[in-house]
Amino acid sequence: MAHAAYSSGLEIPRIRLRPLDRPRAWLAAGWRDLRSAPQVSLTYGLIFALMGAVLTLGLASTHLLPWLVPVAFSFVLLGPILAVGLYDVSRRLRLGRHPTLGSALGAWSVNRSQISFMGITLLVFLLTWLLVANLIFALFYRHAISNWQGFYSEVFLSGGNLLFLAIGGTVGAVFAALVFSFTAISIPMLLDRETDVVTAIVTSVRAVQQNPGLMAIWAGLILGLTTIGLLTAYLGLVITLPLIGHASWHAYQDLVEH
């Protein structure tokens, strides 16, 4: 395996430079994996779609509708770790092994400590985002919103909505960009190699830095597919989450030398 040593002392795999149209190949490969293991992939997607739906209904029933948007956005932040089982499905297919739902749900145990640490790191990002989002909402809306009509009217039709949406959207974009740069290929790498979180994150950041246009396109596609899944009352996540997960595995395989 070719490596490039850096002053940090880490052994960072070399990053390949790829053309801007490469995500099309990743998505095509991801779709092939989904079709090769449809029961595992779609069941995996269904589990997390149901979790999202139950969480949304819970927020609505407890008059916590202002949390709806930041909680939905949590799928963007936690998506990379939620998809670890899908990376394992693609890994097993590449090795000629038979993937199962059990192997997918238990994939984190392949590199237990490091994948768990990455999950904790993303959870810290998520909690920080929820606190910041709550603070932003409290600055603009000082009264409780108890129904869908009131939520829609206050957030999207009120006089201060543009500034609120601009600030909230900008802060959310910063969080999403940081998480994407840290996780674009790091979690598939932790699953595929005996490596640590720091090495995986540095490798991921370097992949983004060396392929900025390509990775910006890829991030946009991930966001778009996730948004489609969310806007269809989470039903679309049954397909889009597995597709993104499988494609992300192939992005890692394509960008990082072995």
The whole-number average pLDDT for the span 183-206 is 96
Terminal Cα distance for the chain, rounded: 5
**Listed residue (68, 97, 76) closest to 179, CA to CA:** 76
129 found inside a domain: yes
| Residue with tokens 């990379």, as numbered in its chain | 80
Number of domains the chain is built from: 1
**Listed residue (30, 10, 40) closest to 196, CA to CA:** 10
Q: Where are the beta strands (DSSP E) in 116-254?
A: none
The whole-number average pLDDT for the span 220-247 is 94
Per-residue pLDDT reduced to its tens digit, 127-138: 998 899 888 878
Distance CA 60, CA 66 (A): 9
164 found inside a domain: yes
107 found inside a domain: yes
**Does this model's pTM top 0.85?**
yes
190 found inside a domain: yes
17 found inside a domain: no
Structural domain of residue 174, as residue ranges? 37-255
pLDDT of residue 180: 96
pLDDT of residue 2: 38
